[in-house]
Chain A
Amino acid sequence: MTPATVPANDPQLEHFFASNCVNCHGPEEQNGDVRLDLSFNNLTNDLELLDKITGVLEAGEMPPKGETQPDGKSIAEVIQTLQKHLAAIQPANPLKRLTRFEYTHTIHDLFDIEFDFSGLLPPDHVENGFDKFGEAHLMSPHQITAYLNTARFIAQRVLPDHEPKTRVWEFDAQHFHGSKNFATGGGGDYRDGDDYVLTGFRPYRSNLHWSIDSQKHDQFVIPEFGVYRLEVAAHSVDSNQGEVIGINLGDGRHPTSFRLIKRIALANGSKGFSIELTLRAGDQLAFTFDSARVPGRSLANKPHTGPAMHFSKVKVTGPLIDQWPTVAMERLLPNSDMKPGELVDHITLLLTKRPMSSEDRRGFVEIARKQLKSGASMKATARSVLTAVLTSPHFIYKAESPELTNVEHAYRLSYFLWNSVPDETLLESAMSGDLAKDPAIQVERMLLDPRMERFVDDFTRQWLQLDKVDDFGPDVRVFKDVRRMTVDSMAREGQEFFRHVLENDLSLKNFIDSDFVMANDRLARFYKLPPVDGDDFVPVKLPADSERGGLVAQAGFLKLTSTDFATSPIHRGAWILKNLYNERIEPPADVLINEPDIRGTKTIREAILKHQQLESCARCHSRIDPLGFALEYYDPVGRKRSEYRHVTEIVPEDAQTTFTKKIKFTSSPIDAAMTLANGHEVRDMVSLKAALMADQELILKGIIRKLISYAHGRELTRADRKHVDDIYKTIAPGEYSLREAIHAIVAHEAFGRR
């Protein structure tokens, strides 16, 4: 943080704090761990604290109701002074390193290999927002070791000594295995003539894998790294809709560690599919029937009824070689006779897009020189250099100067929209100065490029927490008709919606409310909308009486904020404040939070109202709770309901296991009406969306802040207010288009600064 040029003290602030705040935030008490009797310098250098004080004063939350209130004029003056100080403090934007997704995409673009490296690197930590924030980026010996090992793995794969030989394997029902040999029991699969049949969706109940020797249960193993084509003959029976097959990595005989790598949607009547996957030596493949209606059970006593998936043939071809030498080999080793220094300079430039200083390259040149001298091949030497450059801080970190250089500017843009290195066109535009002058052409080109998908995926996953939609349940005993693929579609909806808004130049206001939803066959059925054909999402116009539309009516959001039996109004309200208003809310530092167990209780409203009465909780909960409560007419999986259905597990004398306990339903009426801090009453979805619409400016700015913080890789503070206002004003004439917002963020002068 750059120390601001501020006066040594400010009598106006000191006086205000002393007469209004210090009673509860001073030497005697430090409510919320806040102390305002400190020296002026201590205060004005604490960006976070100043931000917080300004926030509570603006919202009229402090001093709390019931205490003597300062007059409006002095509050306004103090807010103004605080804002002046905030604007003077340049927010820190600490050094960022590549996230593991950025790393994967970068390697993909540099070497033309489509392989998910994120499994080889430790997960990235997320704090208050996105994993792209330098603030949250950790470095540890574990991380360095992972970089080194991943670098060597890549070097060995992209610069192999010999051309791999493509082989073909063909398997049919005699090679297929299901769960017959499971230690875990298993069941639900069987051989039917020339077919092998799966009936359940749980991988550890049954899956399909295959062996080369039809007499043995040794699962087929991928022999070497490369791209493999799978051609699979499979069809569903007793189904009148599209079905889904999962492709998993792992030992099909002990499937508890399965990693789902792909879902294949088969249209109704389809006879199979073909797909290319990049796989590692030792990988084992297995198929699951993900859209099955039942988990899978032993069929010994009762045969299966309902949809089933029949597999008859699997053909594996690989590793596939498009060209030899490969693209990566040509890029890394343009000629077979390079001097050590030449090789290092070439690979460094390829990977980091800028030359290394002679001091920095010395160690790497030495590595290359030693290798060549010891008689190693050019390729082996290039492997060592590549391993070294991939471990270098010049590759791992995205260093930024206070005023971004041309290359750094291109980096910021390409990691914003592509999550990867800039391509030649973008770099040229940066070097020529065109990018700095008018980025619109490049931004438009990048938004039309398929690499833009990575931004849509990554931004929506983190903004909307779409990866948490499938975290719990739904409990099959309670939600009998909500199946795993419906939940899967819920998790995809937010992302599809964002993409549609972006691609069609629609307004950010659609995130508050919209007259359409994005739906595929399953989601349209779930929402009771006119039927949609197939697994792909299309816009569906909503009937006039529908409450859907906007983010808060999406089943994915409603589900991810619920537990397996019950909704959680607090989670829903907090989600809205955090993700739409972009508020930073967290439990106060001095309060130990014990979440009440609200599962099935009749007194959920009472439980929640109780903590509104406690002063320490009320400040946030008076804002959180009404927002969440208004959504109580939507159940834990996002369906409309007219009453609570409480679930009680019955414990009979001869009790069943936890998962087979009988359950009992009781119902009680919903009372969702509550008053927002600004006096508006919200009572249901419609009035909630109206209240959110009334806060349109706050929410659109909240979303803009999310986009800016993602683009800049740091959390925004009140010091960024002008920046946000600028963007908001720029996109106002175009009805707040998301696409224009992205253009405006990149065109803003702040985008060229650290």
Chain B
Amino acid sequence: MTRRTFLKGAGIALLVPRMESFGQVTEADMPRRLLTIVNHLSFYQPELIPPTDGAFDKSPQLLNELSDQFDHLKLFSGLDNPAVQNGFGHTPCVGILSGYFNKLHRRNRLSIDQAIADKIGDNTRFKSLVFQAGENLNFSQISWDKHGLPVRQLDSPRKIFNLLFQVNEGDTTQQQILAEDRSILDAVLSQANAMEKRLNVTDRAKLDEYLTSVREVERSVKRRAYWANRPKPQIDYEIDDFDRKSVDDYVGTLLDLAVLALQTDSTRAVTVQIPFWEGFKEPELSGNYHDLSHHGQKPEKIRKLLMLEQGILRRINHALNTMKQRKVGNTTLFDQTTTLLTASMGSANAHNFDDLPALVVDARMKTSGYWRKQDVPMSNLYLGLLKLFAPEYEHFGESTGAFEVLS
């Protein structure tokens, strides 16, 4: 596979905004960031998981793609999500980051990326950004807010790019809309306050939800207005219009955009979902990713699948290396960022939602290597990650303990 677009923004200065208008104390010099990558269709585990626990002595071909990160990488296998209901096609994949899925409930539980974004997202233009590679299917929602509601997942690289670097909220119409939003929210808030006085206890609780929500939207409108008056980061990056979308195009472009979003401090939490429905441009790889992943143990299909998965991991490795080159003072973007890579399925061929692999990359890690787990909740890893950002947490989802991520 040939690399189509390289990240060209090597020389950009990091734009670290001052947040004086929010009255918040500037964080320690080094903000912490989170990059979450989910591969819906998983990886072919026989070529990802080493034969033995411990240091990466003999790594299989897929894992080998990440050899640049071996000093800062922990790999786990055999994790599961006991509260994810199985069956129903691909739908349980919506529960990967929450550790929860129930077919009867439209709402889900808070996902780990959003739990962490809630802690680190106050000072940036976007609390978090979630990229959804490929078209939005009803089973591709993986990011859920604290109300259990779906977080908007952006599915077009062009839209993401425009949102980050092109849309000028400083122009008059945008300014007018933001100002109008503020007056409207102000007015309806006082109406709700007046209304509340006339209501009984139960209704007051209902209207309180409205009041709280309006106040929270007011804050986010203020945040947008604040950023509207500030210049957008200037970057030297071009997005190709790809007519015939391919997995490779998507992964490469979205990871580029993820790095740019973190680098420009537009946000501190980015979530990327690897596409699963698209095809490939390469003539030797006919068919689509979904079809190959359900390989039925056919050697020919597995061979093609591995080519594709190697391509994906190469892109991820490249993104991590790029972050190492991005200097911030005397550290790098890589030093600031914890990266989680996991999969919604154990094996797309078996169509199971347990036996999940997970990889964590963090520059502060003391011991790297592979840990074989069995029937251990994925939430234990999530809690371990959450504690890096918010040590006060004792539970996440179905957690029964917390992994030591940095030890």
Q: Are B351 and A95 in contact (CB under 8 A)?
A: no
Q: Are B207 and A657 in contact (CB under 8 A)?
A: no
Contact A393-B192, Cβ < 8 Å, known A183-B279, A254-B245? yes
B87 at the interface (CB under 8 A from A): yes
Q: Are B106 and A144 in contact (CB under 8 A)?
A: no
A60 at the interface (CB under 8 A from B): no
24 contacts between A and B (CB under 8 A): A94-B206, A95-B203, A122-B149, A139-B210, A141-B216, A142-B147, A143-B149, A145-B217, A145-B220, A183-B246, A183-B279, A183-B280, A184-B278, A185-B291, A256-B135, A257-B135, A363-B187, A366-B183, A367-B180, A388-B184, A391-B184, A391-B185, A658-B294, A658-B296
Taking CB atoms, residues of chain B closer than 8 Å to A183 are 244-246, 278-280, 288
B1 at the interface (CB under 8 A from A): no
Interface positions of B from 110 to 154, Cβ below 8 Å from A: 134-137, 145, 147, 149-150
Q: How far is the CA of A563 from the CA of B287 in the complex (A)?
A: 29
In chain B, what residue has the closest Cβ to A255? Answer: B135
In chain A, what residue has the closest Cβ to B134? Answer: A256
A748 at the interface (CB under 8 A from B): no
Q: How far is the CA of A396 from the CA of B184 in the complex (A)?
A: 14
Interface positions of A from 119 to 134, Cβ below 8 Å from B: 122-123, 125-126, 134
Query: Min CB distance, B117 to chain A, in Å?
Result: 14
Q: Are A257 and B137 in contact (CB under 8 A)?
A: yes
Binding site for B on A (CB under 8 A): 1, 92, 94-95, 122-123, 125-126, 134, 137-145, 148, 152, 181-185, 217, 250-251, 253-254, 256-257, 356-357, 359-360, 362-364, 366-367, 370, 384, 387-388, 391-394, 396-397, 399, 471-472, 563, 654-661
State which of B87, B180, B279, B351 has its C-beta within 8 Å of the C-beta of A384: B180
Q: How far is the CA of A719 from the CA of B227 in the complex (A)?
A: 55
In chain A, what residue has the closest Cβ to B91? Answer: A471
Taking CB atoms, residues of chain A closer than 8 Å to B10 are none
Query: Min CB distance, A222 to chain B, in Å?
Result: 18
How many B residues touch the partner, as a band?
35 or more
Taking CB atoms, residues of chain B closer than 8 Å to A563 are 87
Q: Are A387 and B180 in contact (CB under 8 A)?
A: yes
Query: Min CB distance, A178 to chain B, in Å?
Result: 15
Q: Are A367 and B279 in contact (CB under 8 A)?
A: no
Q: Are B294 and A657 in contact (CB under 8 A)?
A: yes
Q: How far is the CA of A674 from the CA of B268 in the complex (A)?
A: 60
Q: Are A393 and B191 in contact (CB under 8 A)?
A: yes
Interface positions of B from 276 to 291, Cβ below 8 Å from A: 277-280, 286-288, 291
Taking CB atoms, residues of chain A closer than 8 Å to B145 are 140, 142
B243 at the interface (CB under 8 A from A): yes
Taking CB atoms, residues of chain A closer than 8 Å to B25 are none
B239 at the interface (CB under 8 A from A): no
Q: Are A394 and B191 in contact (CB under 8 A)?
A: yes
Taking CB atoms, residues of chain B closer than 8 Å to A396 are 210
Query: Min CB distance, A42 to chain B, in Å?
Result: 18
State which of A122, A125, A145, A367 has its C-beta within 8 Å of the C-beta of B183: A367
Given contacts A183-B279, A661-B296, 15 further A-B contacts (CB under 8 A): A95-B199, A95-B203, A142-B149, A144-B214, A148-B185, A184-B277, A363-B188, A367-B183, A367-B187, A387-B184, A392-B191, A393-B188, A393-B192, A394-B195, A397-B210
Taking CB atoms, residues of chain B closer than 8 Å to A143 are 149, 213
Taking CB atoms, residues of chain B closer than 8 Å to A144 are 210, 213-214, 216-217
B28 at the interface (CB under 8 A from A): no
Taking CB atoms, residues of chain B closer than 8 Å to A185 are 279, 286-288, 291
Taking CB atoms, residues of chain A closer than 8 Å to B3 are none
In chain A, what residue has the closest Cβ to B181? Answer: A148
Q: How far is the CA of A360 from the CA of B287 in the complex (A)?
A: 61
B327 at the interface (CB under 8 A from A): no
Q: Are B297 and A95 in contact (CB under 8 A)?
A: no
B32 at the interface (CB under 8 A from A): no
Taking CB atoms, residues of chain B closer than 8 Å to A364 are 187
Query: Min CB distance, B22 to chain A, in Å?
Result: 17
Q: How far is the CA of A363 from the CA of B182 in the complex (A)?
A: 11
Q: Are A217 and B243 in contact (CB under 8 A)?
A: yes
> In this complex, which of B87, B188, B217 has the most chain A Cβ atoms within 10 angstroms of its Cβ?
B188
Taking CB atoms, residues of chain A closer than 8 Å to B246 are 183
Q: How far is the CA of A392 from the CA of B186 in the complex (A)?
A: 10
Q: How many A-B residue pairs have CB under 8 A?
A: 160
Q: How far is the CA of A123 from the CA of B149 in the complex (A)?
A: 9
Q: How far is the CA of A661 from the CA of B216 in the complex (A)?
A: 52
Q: Are B194 and A357 in contact (CB under 8 A)?
A: yes
Q: Are A123 and B209 in contact (CB under 8 A)?
A: no
B4 at the interface (CB under 8 A from A): no
Q: Is the interface of A mostly helix, strand, loop or mixed?
A: loop
Query: Min CB distance, B353 to chain A, in Å?
Result: 14
State which of A123, A360, A384, A660 has its C-beta within 8 Å of the C-beta of B194: A360
Q: How far is the CA of A680 from the CA of B301 in the complex (A)?
A: 57
Q: How far is the CA of A119 from the CA of B212 in the complex (A)?
A: 24
In chain B, what residue has the closest Cβ to A124? Answer: B106
Q: Are B187 and A659 in contact (CB under 8 A)?
A: no
State which of B88, B137, B209 has its C-beta within 8 Å of the C-beta of A139: B209
Q: How far is the CA of A184 from the CA of B135 in the complex (A)?
A: 12
B202 at the interface (CB under 8 A from A): yes
Interface pairs A-B: 8 shortest CB-CB: A363-B187, A183-B279, A139-B209, A257-B135, A657-B294, A95-B206, A657-B296, A141-B216
B303 at the interface (CB under 8 A from A): no
Cβ proximity bits B160-190 to A, threshold 8 Å, 1 near / 0 not: 0000000000000000010011011111101
Contact A657-B147, Cβ < 8 Å, known A141-B217, A152-B177, A363-B183? no
State which of B88, B136, B191, B209 has its C-beta within 8 Å of the C-beta of A257: B136
Query: Min CB distance, A352 to chain B, in Å?
Result: 11
Q: How far is the CA of A396 from the CA of B207 in the complex (A)?
A: 11
Q: How far is the CA of A360 from the CA of B196 in the complex (A)?
A: 12
Q: How far is the CA of A182 from the CA of B291 in the complex (A)?
A: 14
Taking CB atoms, residues of chain B closer than 8 Å to A181 are 244
Taking CB atoms, residues of chain A closer than 8 Å to B59 are none
Q: How far is the CA of A125 from the CA of B207 in the complex (A)?
A: 17
Q: How far is the CA of A394 from the CA of B207 in the complex (A)?
A: 11
Q: How far is the CA of A399 from the CA of B203 in the complex (A)?
A: 9
Q: Are B187 and A388 in contact (CB under 8 A)?
A: yes
B349 at the interface (CB under 8 A from A): yes
Taking CB atoms, residues of chain B closer than 8 Å to A251 are 135
Q: Are A256 and B137 in contact (CB under 8 A)?
A: yes
In chain B, what residue has the closest Cβ to A151? Answer: B184
B8 at the interface (CB under 8 A from A): no
Q: Are B183 and A657 in contact (CB under 8 A)?
A: no
Q: How far is the CA of A392 from the CA of B195 in the complex (A)?
A: 11
B18 at the interface (CB under 8 A from A): no
In chain A, what residue has the closest Cβ to B350? Answer: A658
Q: Are B192 and A141 in contact (CB under 8 A)?
A: no
Contact A363-B147, Cβ < 8 Å, known A256-B137, A658-B349? no
Taking CB atoms, residues of chain A closer than 8 Å to B210 are 139, 144, 393, 396-397
In chain B, what residue has the closest Cβ to A143? Answer: B213
Q: How far is the CA of A485 from the CA of B216 in the complex (A)?
A: 46
In chain A, what residue has the closest Cβ to B86? Answer: A597
> In this complex, which of A144, A357, A367, A472 has the most chain B Cβ atoms within 10 angstroms of its Cβ?
A144
B324 at the interface (CB under 8 A from A): no
Q: How far is the CA of A399 from the CA of B194 in the complex (A)?
A: 13
Taking CB atoms, residues of chain A closer than 8 Å to B186 are 363
Q: How far is the CA of A140 from the CA of B190 in the complex (A)?
A: 18
Q: Are A184 and B288 in contact (CB under 8 A)?
A: yes
Query: Min CB distance, B218 to chain A, in Å?
Result: 9
Taking CB atoms, residues of chain A closer than 8 Å to B298 are 654-655
Q: How far is the CA of A363 from the CA of B192 in the complex (A)?
A: 12
Q: How far is the CA of A472 from the CA of B297 in the complex (A)?
A: 26
Q: Are A134 and B206 in contact (CB under 8 A)?
A: yes
Interface positions of B from 297 to 320, Cβ below 8 Å from A: 297-298, 301
Query: Min CB distance, B190 to chain A, in Å?
Result: 6
Contact A654-B297, Cβ < 8 Å, known A139-B210, A184-B277, A393-B192? yes
Query: Min CB distance, A648 to chain B, in Å?
Result: 16
Interface positions of B from 62 to 120, Cβ below 8 Å from A: 87-88, 106-107
Query: Min CB distance, B75 to chain A, in Å?
Result: 27
